[in-house]
Amino acid sequence: MDARIDNIGALIRDERIRQGLTQEELGAKIGVGKAQISKIEKGSGLTIKTVTKVLEALDLAASVRLRNATRIDKRVIGYVVASISEFAKAHGMTVREASNYLNRYKGLEFLTEHYEAEHLLSLQDSVQDLARICRNNGGGIQ
């Protein structure tokens, strides 16, 4: 079965019901009360240890599929760093402030997604584009 982690509580509940167990019975199998099973089935109170115990009690196994993180080219990283620095200078910010601002208002996302076009522009043009993107996403810098 291919399921998302945020659906684990519902999956546990469905399997418990399919096996004809009450919350009390499942709780007794893993050493917790009905209230804890209710929380688990609602998706709260989930830890790796708890999920493992519940899966064992229900005679289930789970696997995790990890996806490769997108690799970012060193040229893109260099360009983003230069753009953050220029943005900071243009708007009287520290590099950290500029980085946080650009991250919050999707400027960094814009730079990495549109690197192929943006790196052909001057840094001043990129700074203007960043200000516009951030404004469009709720930022206040003009």
Note the pTM of the prediction, 2 decimals. 0.51
| Residues 69/63, Cβ–Cβ less than 8 Å | no
Residue 1: its pLDDT value, please?
A: 46
Q: Which residues of the chain have pLDDT under 70?
A: 1-6, 63-72
- Assign domain 5-57 to a CATH class: mainly alpha
Cβ-Cβ contacts under 8 Å for 94 (sequence gap 6 or more): 88
Residue with tokens 């291919």: 2
Alpha-carbon dihedral angle through residues 80, 82, 83, 86, given to the nearest 10 degrees: 160
Locate the domains of the chain by residue range: 5-57, 74-136
CB atoms within 10 A of CB 3: 10
Separation CA 65–CA 18 (nearest Å) = 25
Cβ-Cβ contacts under 8 Å for 124 (sequence gap 6 or more): 86, 90
